[in-house]
Amino acid sequence: MPATIFVLSGPNLNLLGLREPEIYGTDTLDDIAGMLEDRARALDLEIDMRQSNHEGHLLDWLHEAQAVGAKAVLLNAGALTHTSLALYDAVRSITTPVVEVHLSNPAAREAYRHKSYVGMAARGTISGFGAQSYMLALEAAARF
């Protein structure tokens, strides 16, 4: 049975492809899921892709990833990246490795996006490569 990688996306990521395409690109979350699933099959991995606009769902899914023995979590927490101590605590409280993912490069954007609570707890961060950020994160997670 292939190992599972959870791919968790936070607030407003359901609007990818429509929301500020000059920043986030034109790929939808479904487009990204398809790319990840194709590559995961080649790596003998399974993707469990989820999105929520609610912080508590992301927390529950991080806990679930550990409970079910997921190989890793790719987490794009959206704006919660910069505000959520609860996500910081959740990432630190599980042993499942978490890779922070961002389509844009938060360090090159508004000052309030420069601090990442998720990044402070994650194994690593991949950002700034659009939809390819998810693919690069998957490649990294496959090697854990």
Q: Which residues are marked as active site?
A: 24, 102
d(CA 72, CA 7): 9
b/e map 109-127, b = 16+ CB within 10 Å: eeeebeebbbbebbeebbb
b/e map 29-60, b = 16+ CB within 10 Å: beebbebbeebbeeeebbbebebbeebeebbe
Here the tokens at position 75 are 């987490």
